Structure 1
Amino acid sequence: MYMTSKIVKPALYIEVTERLRSMIAGGVLAPGSWIDEQKLAEDLGVSRTPFREAIRILASEGLLRIEPRRGCYVTQLTEKDLDDIFPIMAMLEGRCAYEAAQRATDKDIHSLEALHAKLEKHATAKNIDEYYETNRKIHIAIQNLAGNEWLSRMLQDMRKILNLSRHRSLHGKGRIAESCAEHLSVFAALKARDPLAAEVMMKTHIMRQRDVLKNLKPEPVLS
């Protein structure tokens, strides 16, 4: 006989981790800012134990850094970090688009079309938060269509780090409309089942984000 155990509710620290990750990605916890652990734990209605476990996990992912005797800070990427990371991300996302174009069914294309319709709607309304969330869903959908487990693992790790800057890139003048146009170009290549074009368009889209960030006013270093 199989030994079974009851399915339990996910540990509280996992929920806290996800909440903090969302706050970092959305800029609620700004890059370089100090984490007031006691106050934030109280705001979230949790004890320090699950909160500290969440901090440990996010630090291992590179989203937070822990400094002895100073506390915990949201990671602030340097220009060199971004120059190093974005080309790698472009290569990985480009490969995802390539493989997705080879595998996509008519049903998959229909689902992507619905997401891009939402993306255009949010771009027209200049709703950055909703646009960012739909944009995220599109990237994940393309990743899932690629069906490459190893590629997905690498992308997930790097995406967590670049979330520190990607939301900010949408604040560049005219960037939200430009980003939407880039996504529509990727979608057109996917719809045409053109792997090479999908790869090129996706790489262009990712590297354009880097260009935009270079032209934005640098964020102040917080302490």
Structure 2
Amino acid sequence: MTNLSELHSAIRPTTLHEEVASRLRTLIFERRLAPGAWVDEKALAAEWGISRTPLREALKVLAAEGLVTAVPRRGCQVNELSEDDAAQLFPVMALLEGRCAHEAALRATDAELAELQGLHEALELHAAAHDVNGYYRANHVFHSRVQALAGNRWLDRATNELRKFMRMLRGRQLNWPGRLEASIAEHRALIDALVRRDAHRAERLMHDHLMAQLQALQALRANESRPAPPPAPSESP
């Protein structure tokens, strides 16, 4: 008969590599492991005080999720979403998050909607301070909460799967001039629709909010890809 200590020792390796995978995701989502970067297995194993075995198992998980790519004899490289990836991802995420808003408007309790208003107030504070990083973090919490309030496990599963890739962009579109101000205005309309339990309006507003993010991201990337203007000719003395 198997005793409890044997069961505990049997599951520890799995628990460890799952914890390592979670840490790696955080590094990627926070861009401390930037798109295109190689994962330094030796350095991370030393920093975290673990062997490279659970680290490699964790990297296999992330490779299956599409966050990294394993390259033979070189290691793992953090994936980067291309313009085509973003153009295909955002419309699908807009449909999913729109549906989350629709179902949240119908199912959330009054207390839960009051909590959501509190999360919106945090967004207002970060927008007023023009704190892009703080706004991004608060925005992630807000969207995740709307998703949870929808109370649909199938919708939750599909949305979680794609949200990982959205987080790889880490709200880069917020750096486009005027996007932060536009985003908070969109959120004001959205929270109003949710509190009023206007499910159809909430769905449309959330959908359009995601598509506006895509437009800003595309504008930002187009601007970054433009060649720098040549230097102005110096005047002769």
TM-score by length of 2: 0.85
Residue 5 of structure 1 and its aligned partner are, at CA, apart by 4.2
Residue 4 of structure 1 and its aligned partner are, at CA, apart by 8.4
Q: Which position in structure 2 is the counterpart of 1:17?
A: 21
Corresponding letter in the other structure for 1:171: N
In 2, Cα distance between the equivalents of 1:87 and 1:4? Answer: 51
178, 184, 191: which one pairs with 2:182?
A: 178
Q: Select the structure with the greater relative contact order (CA < 8 A; seq sep ≥ 6).
A: 1
In 2, Cα distance between the equivalents of 1:125 and 1:144? Answer: 28
* Alignment: residue pair count: 218
Residue 39 of structure 1 and its aligned partner are, at CA, apart by 1.5
Residue 40 of structure 1 and its aligned partner are, at CA, apart by 2.4
Q: Is the 8 A contact 2:67 2:165 kept in 1?
A: yes
Structure 1 SS opposite 2:171: helix
Q: Is the 8 A contact 1:120 1:180 kept in 2?
A: yes
Q: Which position in structure 2 is the counterpart of 1:134?
A: 138
Q: Which position in structure 2 is the counterpart of 1:119?
A: 123
Distance 1:53 1:103, change over 3 A: same
203, 212, 218: which one pairs with 1:214?
A: 218
Unaligned 5+ residue runs, structure 2?
226-237
Q: Which position in structure 2 is the counterpart of 1:157?
A: 161
Of residues 176-185 and 148-157 in structure 1, the stretch that sits farther from structure 2 once superposed is 176-185
Residue 89 of structure 1 and its aligned partner are, at CA, apart by 0.5
Distance 1:106 1:67, change over 3 A: same
Unaligned 5+ residue runs, structure 1?
none
Distance 1:175 1:41, change over 3 A: farther
In 2, Cα distance between the equivalents of 1:4 and 1:150? Answer: 37
In 2, Cα distance between the equivalents of 1:181 and 1:22? Answer: 29
- Where do 1:27-176 residues align within 5 Å? 27-176=31-180
Q: Is the 8 A contact 1:35 1:74 kept in 2?
A: yes
Corresponding letter in the other structure for 1:199: E
Q: Is the 8 A contact 2:30 2:170 kept in 1?
A: no
Structure 1 SS opposite 2:221: coil
Corresponding letter in the other structure for 2:175: H
Q: Is the 8 A contact 1:26 1:167 kept in 2?
A: no
In 1, Cα distance between the equivalents of 2:72 and 2:205? Answer: 44
Distance 1:173 1:43, change over 3 A: farther
Larger Rg: 2
In 1, Cα distance between the equivalents of 2:173 and 2:4? Answer: 47
Paired-residue identity, %? 45
Instruction: After superposition, give the CA deviation of every residue in 1:41-71 in whole Å (9 maximum; x if it has no partner).
Output: 2233322112111111111111111122232
Instruction: After superposition, give the CA deviation of every residue in 1:188-217 in whole Å (9 maximum; x if it has no partner).
Output: 100111011000100011111111111113
In 2, Cα distance between the equivalents of 1:193 and 1:27? Answer: 36
Residue 131 of structure 1 and its aligned partner are, at CA, apart by 1.7
In 2, Cα distance between the equivalents of 1:167 and 1:41? Answer: 29
